[in-house]
Structure 1
Amino acid sequence: MLNQSARAAATGAAALLPLLLTGCLVEGSGSAVSRGTLSGDILGSGATFPDPLFQQWMSYYNTSIETGTSIDYQAIGSGEGIEQFLAQEVDFGSSERYLQASELLVAREVRGCEAVQFPVVFGAVVIALNDPALDGLILDSEVIAGIYDRRVTRYDDPAIAELNPDLDLPGREIVPVHRSDGSGTTYVFTSYLANEVGFWAEEYAGGTDIDWHDDTVGGDGNDGVAQAVGASPGGLGYVNQSYALRNGLATARVVNEDGTPIEPTLAATTAASEEAEIPDDFQFSIDDIGGDGYPITGANWVLAYECGYNNDTADVLRDFWAWALTDAEADRFASDLGYAPMGRGLKERVLTEIQRINSS
């Protein structure tokens, strides 16, 4: 543990890291005044949850910040992304869950050094609906679990009607859509249900891969779930908020820990993220959210290594993620797509962690 003076020094140094890394001075608009020249081709893979944001960040960085770089990201799902990261097939991974102890051990054995993992953004997992007339439908954890366990099969079920006394509910069958691939979005969604609903914890638990009820529909990636919801009368599925926005899907309000139905807005996602207690190892969940917070909120972690990169690759990895966390334009991209950028204090802690990349 750092003492108070040492921690203050580390925090101050972290605030200067984006400047020290590449000699860059960045205006409030995010445009570079002067900057060093980096070069290198970087490949990452993993979660579809942050993919819209990652693609915007990487395109802007490659074309406007460091034009000698090429950063590519393949959205293949958190599960497969972790597998490729541990198999050393990519330069970095991405997931909506942090690496477990067994995976950290594998990383150490295959690479010969520690893995580095840090959060970069928060986002809401929304309940997307096929029917625009149902936008703002109120659901709680018991009803959502019941829908996916097929205990609740119609929109006019008494449990839904009780939550929505002023809404004329259709007598239509609900078609629940889930992720068919190993998914961090599934991890956030099912961990929320396991934390809130007793029978879900016993029968399904939380994880990236779930043994779903036979009468549910699978979709590949957030895009696949959004498309299946949009194509299925009565469709209902869980996706990252940006995918619901991009596909023009209605979304439900979800009752949080204080009994308040919360719309999945950027402000509600930010409110939930601010309730999270984040330890020094950045291994955390966002549970029991009340107040103005949206209750199904998750973080995205980036995975890298303390060793094994050539200097060009390591420089680009450190600089890109430092830029993504400190540049005003990067934050604007996140907000426009419905993601919640991290607060200043957490960013400073993460910037220090980023410096562990290739430090051994």
Structure 2
Amino acid sequence: MLRTTGRRAITATAALALTFTMAACGAANESGGSGGGGEDAVSGAIKGAGASTQEQAQAEWAAKFSETSPDATVEYSPDGSGTGREKFINGAVQFAGSDAAMDDKEIAAAKKSGCTGETIQFPVYVAPIAVTYNVKGVDELNLSPDTIAKIFDQKITKWNDPAIKKENPDADLPSTTITPVNRSDESGTTENFTAYLDEAAPDSWSHGATEVWPVKGGEAAKGTSGVVSTIESGNGTIGYADAAQIGDLDAAKVKVGDEYVEYTPEAAADALEGAERVEPDSKTNYAVELDRGDVEDGAYPIVLVSYAIACSDYKDPAAAETVKAYLEYATSEQGQKDASKAAGNAPLGKDGLQNAATALKQIKTD
């Protein structure tokens, strides 16, 4: 099992900061809706930062949220998971998004500075991680966990390598050199991907699960958009990215048991519903453990779980109300449907919605 509260550090993204001036949603609740202003309208100004994987979802939440009170201002900068956590710890932002949950040391650090109350964290965005590639003449590709691990560890260096040919007997594989593309910044997506390699291909991947890409060479790019752009502009390139953001790039089917499975958002959501919590009795920490090396047949095994991070106590009551209202909308049934339609991620299931609702009740607004 991988504890998603492992090593943490600073992540950045090439994307520019997203700034949304929008109404907060006092009427949002766990059954969902963006609220309607009036007596329930809020007017606090808050800032958030973090995962670039959440960028499209945050943009959609912002757009829908802006239909409510005009006096609330919310900013979200997709600077990367580690940067978002760091800013939250230091009190520079009131909420964060992260593809890796905060660990005990980070929570303790936040208590001394940015969040003197309890740190609240729960899954808000779930998506498959695609093994995406750009090879002329290859529109379909099957890859086993061991082959994926050897490609990214640069042990397999040509597209017509016997190991790849064996899994793709009908493909016209060229002798083109394989160019692996990884994140240059410290990334929760990298941690989720290397966790999969560590658990599903332990004999072929010796680098463990880490936010810092451990193999030298290849191509490195900053942020999700940087990885996708680098793969698109090359030939023979292969990388890993949030499947919702790969655009027209092809993605490999991944071997699970005796079959090769295509990614789907639904399979990612199923993985979250079956995950074990790190602290089962906590009402504030909903970080989960995923067993990526042992998934059911037909399920897609490379899954990204991205978190919302907030605080139970804020010095500014108006900010507390706005954080709570905004995240209540994001984790409502409607908010999740809106994000899924715009970004292609998987809506949270019943348990995920309830966990978020319970966590957000811990935010003090009096």
| TM-score over 0.5 (shorter chain) | yes
Q: Are 1:268 and 2:270 an aligned pair?
A: no
Q: Is the 8 A contact 1:117 1:301 kept in 2?
A: yes
Q: Is the 8 A contact 1:148 1:213 kept in 2?
A: no
Deviation at residue 274 of structure 1 after TM alignment: 3.1
Match in the other structure for 1:229: 231
The sequence identity of aligned pairs, in percent, is 27
- C-alpha separation in 2, matches of 1:276 and 1:219: 30
- C-alpha separation in 1, matches of 2:137 and 2:54: 28
Match in the other structure for 1:61: 65
Normalised TM-score (structure 2): 0.84
Q: How does 1:161-310 map to 2 (within 5 A)?
A: 161-199=165-203, 202=206, 204-214=207-217, 216-245=218-247, 248-256=248-256, 258-278=257-277, 279-280=280-281, 281-286=285-290, 287=292, 288-310=294-316
Query: Relative to structure 1, is the Cα distance of residues 61 and 78 closer, same or farther in structure 2, using a 3 angstrom cutoff?
Result: same
Match in the other structure for 2:4: none
Deviation at residue 292 of structure 1 after TM alignment: 2.6
- Which range moved further: 325-334 or 134-143? 325-334
Q: Is the 8 A contact 1:138 1:164 kept in 2?
A: yes
Match in the other structure for 1:73: 76
- C-alpha separation in 1, matches of 2:208 and 2:27: 48
- C-alpha separation in 2, matches of 1:189 and 1:302: 20
Match in the other structure for 1:5: none
Q: How does 1:323-334 map to 2 (within 5 A)?
A: 323-328=329-334, 330-334=336-340
Q: Is the 8 A contact 1:265 1:338 kept in 2?
A: no
Match in the other structure for 1:112: 116
- C-alpha separation in 1, matches of 2:68 and 2:307: 23
Q: Is the 8 A contact 1:129 1:135 kept in 2?
A: no
- Name the SS of the counterpart of 2:73 in structure 1: strand
Q: Is the 8 A contact 1:188 1:298 kept in 2?
A: yes
Q: How does 1:26-41 map to 2 (within 5 A)?
A: 30=33, 32=35, 35=38, 36-41=40-45
Deviation at residue 343 of structure 1 after TM alignment: 0.9
Q: Is the 8 A contact 2:50 2:97 kept in 1?
A: yes
User: May I ask how many residue pairs the two structures share in their alignment?
Assistant: 333
- C-alpha separation in 2, matches of 1:67 and 1:259: 54
| Residues 155-210 of structure 1: CA deviation (Å, up to 9, x unaligned) | 111111111122221221111100001111111111111112225653x2112113
Deviation at residue 154 of structure 1 after TM alignment: 1.3
- C-alpha separation in 1, matches of 2:28 and 2:299: 36
Gaps of 5+ in 2: 1-24
Q: Is the 8 A contact 2:147 2:164 kept in 1?
A: yes
| Residues 119-153 of structure 1: CA deviation (Å, up to 9, x unaligned) | 11211110111137433311122111111111111
Task: Provide the aligned C-alpha RMSD in A.
Answer: 2.4
Deviation at residue 39 of structure 1 after TM alignment: 1.2
Q: Is the 8 A contact 1:116 1:303 kept in 2?
A: yes
Q: Is the 8 A contact 2:46 2:74 kept in 1?
A: yes
Q: Are 1:141 and 2:145 an aligned pair?
A: yes
Deviation at residue 27 of structure 1 after TM alignment: 9.9
Deviation at residue 26 of structure 1 after TM alignment: 11
Q: How does 1:4-43 map to 2 (within 5 A)?
A: 22-23=26-27, 30=33, 32=35, 35=38, 36-43=40-47
Q: Is the 8 A contact 1:128 1:249 kept in 2?
A: yes
Match in the other structure for 1:159: 163
- C-alpha separation in 2, matches of 1:109 and 1:293: 42
Normalised TM-score (structure 1): 0.85
- Name the SS of the counterpart of 1:285 in structure 2: strand
- C-alpha separation in 2, matches of 1:125 and 1:194: 15
Gaps of 5+ in 1: 1-20
